Amino acid sequence: MVERDGPEVIGRRVQRLRVERGLTQRQLAEPTYTPAYVSTLEAGRVRPSDEALKHLAERLGVEFAELATGRSARLVTDLRLRLTEAQRTLATGETEEAAERYAELLTEAETHGLVDEQATALLGLGECVIELGELEAAREYFERAETCLADAPLPVRVPALRGRAVAHYLAGELRYAVYLLESALDELNRGGLHDPDALLLLYASVIGPYMDMGAHARAAQAAEFALALAPQVADPALVARMHRSVARTLLAEGRIAEADASLAKAAELYRQLQIRTELANCHWMRGYVYAQNGELDRSEEELREALTMLSAKRAALYSSQVAVELADVLHRRGKSEEAAELLHGVLSDLSPERGALHSAAAHRLLGIIAEDARDTEAAEEHYVRALSLLERAGAAGDLADLCRLLGDLLRRTGRVEAALDAYRTGLGHRTAPGTTTLGPAPAQPPL
């Protein structure tokens, strides 16, 4: 049903179009209506029925929707087509150009009062600025998209909600990101809103925060649900994203061949769709898989490819994150000076509010490199900075490992009590493997 303008607005529009076409009120009204009715309508004193508007639209040579709303169906179709083109521009990695297009389209959608198109443009802008590393701006865009869609069913609002959660996750706010995603999952499943696309998007997105928080059991279960939902989903980009997320749980379980196969599926889909940034992320993840399997030469090759692709497309935050993992591989291959240089460059681009986990990883690795060079003072400084970042984010698994490194350093330098405190802090995060401070798991889908 078309949401029509008020009687006064419609009346003025009818009068303007009638005058432009050189018609009298009688010519416009006949044969179905009277000139007096047209006069009353143009004065805004009567709310015309759909039948009356259809008659007037035919006589005026315009579409019903244009007469009722001031917007032609052609305008809406054209705007949606250009939104799709902007999405393609973003997919091919031209992030800044895509952001400019989305901003123009947002202004146009606001001018014509097209709420759904406004939401689509805001979602696109949110995705653009996430790639550019502007996480606060991303949250604002996603929140505005949610506001536009406030009256829509939850499955329609899920992409905006998920975008906001990802922005919080990348900023190191793991618990809040999980809270947002789990709340949506719980509402969908308890309310019987079993939309496969919405559920798959949420399950694929919650795996990363779960893994970083040490909630491996929940991550594995989310991956299981995602794989079960995938055959019901028609969007290949969404399925590819799922495969990339699931690979992380497979790797944690030691199923390296399966993880690599899952990433290969994702990469092939992204190649077919020509989605450059996501394809770069697949190279990144495969580099991580190879590193965990000790294949450092292959890992370095994949990570360098990912870094080249992301840097070329100015995906600043993701470039910095890949650089940290590449530095780890370089260090393990004996190229510590190159690794340290890369890490110092990365830290200038990262902050506690922007890439907290990878900032912590950079400090951790710089601490290890400093220890290797027997610079214990610099090593301790880097470990303490990393510890602060990880505690704030609640990244339990990484925190426990860092406490061990710091404790060992303090013990070797004769500070036994301080070392014991560091070990106790680490043990506190290891007391219940695979659990977090999260509440009950969300309701499950009927699979």
Give the chain's mean pLDDT: 86
**Among the listed residues 382, 122, 345, the one whose alpha carbon sits nearest the alpha carbon of residue 130:** 122
Omega of the bond leading into 31 within 30 degrees of 0 (cis):
yes
Say yes or no to pLDDT of 101 above 90.
yes
Looking at the DSSP assignment, which residues form a beta bridge with residue 354?
Answer: 351
Sign, CA torsion 271/273/276/281: negative
- Name 111's Cβ contacts closer than 8 Å, sequence gap at least 6: none
Q: How is residue 442 annotated by DSSP?
A: P
Whether 240 contacts 265, CB under 8 Å = yes
Looking at the DSSP assignment, which residues form a beta bridge with residue 351?
Answer: 354
Q: Please report which helix (H) or strand (E) contains residue 60, including its range.
A: helix 50-60
Residue 259: burial class (beta carbons within 10 Å; 0-12, 13-18, 19+): buried
Q: What per-residue string of b and e applies to 397-428 under the rule 16 or more CB within 10 Å gives b? A: bbbbbbbebbbebbeeeeeeebbeebbebbee
Q: Which two tokens stand for residue 282?
A: 């697949």
Collapsed DSSP state (helix, strand, coil) of residue 173 = coil
Say yes or no to pLDDT of 165 above 90.
yes
- Taking residues 94-114, what's their average pLDDT? 88
- Taking residues 229-240, what's their average pLDDT? 87
pLDDT tens digits for range 347-388: 887 766 677 788 888 999 999 999 999 999 999 999 999 888
pLDDT tens digits for range 30-57: 888 999 999 999 998 988 888 999 999 8
- Name 247's Cβ contacts closer than 8 Å, sequence gap at least 6: 259, 260, 262, 263, 266, 285, 289
Q: Where are the alpha helices (DSSP H) in 171-295?
A: 174-190, 196-213, 216-229, 236-252, 256-273, 276-292
What end-to-end distance do the CA atoms of the chain give, in Å? 35
pLDDT tens digits for range 420-433: 988 888 776 544 44
**Among the listed residues 43, 91, 51, 86, the one whose alpha carbon sits nearest the alpha carbon of residue 68:** 51
Say yes or no to pLDDT of 447 above 80.
no
* Distance, CA of 123 to CA of 114 (rounded, Å): 14
Q: Where are the alpha helices (DSSP H) in 274-375?
A: 276-292, 296-312, 316-332, 336-347, 356-372
Over the Cα atoms of the chain, what is R_g? 28
pTM value is 0.76
- Taking residues 317-330, what's their average pLDDT? 87
